[in-house]
Amino acid sequence: MERFYFAIEIIDITPRNDALTAFSRTPVLFILLAIAAGLASPAWAQSAVADGQKLAFDRGKGNCLTCHVIRGGDLPGTIGPELRDLKAKYPDRNELAAIIFDETKRNPQTMMPPFGRNRILTEQEISAIVDFLQTL
């Protein structure tokens, strides 16, 4: 299945500059979401983790397995590092959210797609994935 990595639909090129529009409200939203996650009941958090895992594994969404080994996922790629012990490495969840939002900020040559900047994932979706990543 040559369709292994990304969904087949063809989407128009997203203008590079959408970072400008997306960025202004990002920090506030992330903080709000972080607070919400912090205050949430364990049951709520549980479902965010499950949602995050689904989003991370979904070929039409995060499709993180294309490049990363992730516990619980099949047929991972080897382009990125295995995703594990991330809570120790990035104690601040905003760091993880920023990597998913646009890793080219840290590393302009990275292969990792700018999921937030290019609107592949919404901020809520990124936040759920961060919840999931913190359990790895």
Q: Which of 72, 52, 76 is nearest to 125 (CA)?
A: 52
Phi/psi-derived region of residue 73, left when phi > 0, alpha when psi is between -120 and 50, beta in every other case: beta
The interface partner of residue 129, options being other proteins, ligand HEC, none and the CB cut-off 5 to 8 Å by kind, is ligand HEC
CB of 12 to ligand HEC, least distance (A): 16
At closest approach, how far in Å is the CB of 60 from other proteins?
10
Determine if 80 is a binding residue for other proteins (CB under 8 A): yes
How many CA atoms does the CB half-sphere of 27 hold within 13 Å?
2
Among 79, 95, 106, 135, binds other proteins (CB under 8 A): 79
Which amino acid is located at 5 in the chain?
A: Y
Among 46-54, 77-85, 86-94, 124-132, the segment contacting other proteins (CB under 8 A): 77-85
# chain residues binding other proteins, by CB under 8 A: 33
What angle, rounded to 10 degrees, do the helices at 93-102 and 18-39 form? 150
